């Protein structure tokens, strides 16, 4: 085989290998703080994988409860058991998912936290 064909074949093999590699999902950080979420609303793209990094910056526990959102999404990695992410003080967790179009409510399920303003929206377009 001539050297030029060998080089071309090797280049095609490398290109095929590179394209077969999974592409990392873009990341969005969601901060839980005393009686709020940032950003709010959370805006995502329907049908596109995204990694959600949940970070609790508060000195007490909070959760991110969005039962309908997690039920409608296809979770690729991580866990949102019961439709919630529960975090102790300073904890963080990551979930990678493919969201479905819609508008979903989110709130903290801890006693009185929702009433004190810890609620928001997830908008998936």
> At residue 120, what are phi and psi to the nearest 5 degrees?
-175, -165
User: What are the Cα distances from residue 88, in Å, to 25, 38, 56, 98?
Assistant: 26, 17, 7, 26
Q: What is the pLDDT of residue 21?
A: 52
What are 60's two structure tokens? 């007490």
- Per cent of the chain over pLDDT 70 is 82
Average pLDDT score over the chain? 89
* CATH, range 23-124: 2.60.40.420
pTM of the model: 0.81
Instruction: Parse the chain into domains and list their residue ranges.
Output: 23-124
**Cα dihedral 59→77→41→88 (10° resolution):** -10
What confidence tens digit (pLDDT) does each residue in 77-124 have?
999 999 999 999 999 999 999 999 999 999 999 999 999 999 999 999
Q: What is the pLDDT of residue 15?
A: 47
> Is 7's pLDDT higher than 70?
no
Rounded-to-5 percentages of helix, strand, coil across the chain: 20, 40, 40
């Amino acid at each position: 085989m001539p050297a030029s064909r060998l080089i071309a074949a090797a280049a095609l093999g490398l290109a095929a290998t590179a394209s077969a590699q999974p592409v990392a999902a873009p990341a969005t950080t969601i901060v839980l703080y005393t009686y709020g979420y940032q950003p709010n609303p959370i805006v995502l793209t329907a049908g596109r994988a995204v990694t959600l990094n949940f970070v609790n910056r508060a000195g007490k526990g909070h959760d991110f409860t969005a039962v309908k959102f997690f039920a409608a999404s296809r979770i690729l990695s991580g866990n949102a058991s019961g439709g919630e992410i529960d975090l102790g003080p300073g904890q963080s967790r990551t979930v990678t998912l493919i969201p479905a179009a819609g508008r979903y409510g989110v709130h903290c399920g801890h006693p009185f936290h929702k009433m004190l303003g810890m609620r928001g929206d997830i908008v998936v377009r």
